[in-house]
Amino acid sequence: MCPYCFASGYETIKCGFYQVNVGKVKRVQRYYCKECRRKFSTQTGTLTFREHKPHLTPVVGLMLKQGFSQRACARSLEITQATVAKKMLRLTSEYGSLGSIKRFDVLPI
Ligand SMILES: [Zn+2]
C-alpha cells in the first residue's frame, strides 16, 4: 500500500532496491505508485525510516529499558553515543516511554 495516497497494492509496483551495507537486511525493496507517481520503500513511514543502522534499534531500546546507560550501550554495541541518543529519541517519541514497550522483537526493522 502506498504511504502517501493509500492506493491499494495493485497500484504499486516493485521498483529496484536500496543497498544497505550494514546489518542483516542487505537490500530494502523500493516501490513505485502508479496513482500518485511517487516512490517509496518498505521503511517509509516506519520507526527506522532513514536510519543507517535500523537493525540496532530494538537492541538499543531493550538495553536502555534494562537500565544500561547510553554510553554503556554505545561501548558494547561499538557505535557512538550520539547514535544511541538518536535512537532513544525516536523510540520515546513513537511510544511515549521505553517502559511502555512490552516486546522489542516486534519493532519494525
Ligand atoms: Zn500513491
Domain boundaries, the chain: 10-41, 54-100
At residue 23, the pLDDT reads 66
Q: How far apart are CA 57 and CA 40, in angstroms?
A: 21
pTM, full prediction = 0.72
**What's the gap in Å between 44 CA and the centre of ligand 1?**
12
- How far, in Å, from the CA of 53 to the mean position of ligand 1? 27
What pLDDT does 18 receive?
83
- Compute, in angstroms, the gap from residue 45 CA to the centroid of ligand 1: 13
Find the 31 Cα to ligand 1 centroid distance in Å: 10
pLDDT of residue 100: 75
Q: At what angle do helices 70-77 and 81-95 cross, to 10 degrees?
A: 120
CA 54 – ligand 1 centroid, Å: 24
At residue 94, the pLDDT reads 82
pLDDT of the residue at 20:
76
Decide if 28 contacts 20 (C-beta within 8 A).
yes
Q: Which residues contact 42 (CB under 8 A, 6 or more apart)?
A: 28, 29, 31
Centre of ligand 1 to C-alpha 42, Å, is: 14
Low-confidence ranges of the chain (pLDDT < 50): none
Check residue 49 and give its pLDDT: 84
Please, are residues 3 and 44 in contact by the beta-carbon 8 Å criterion? yes
pLDDT score of 36: 92
pLDDT at residue 108, rounded to an integer: 54
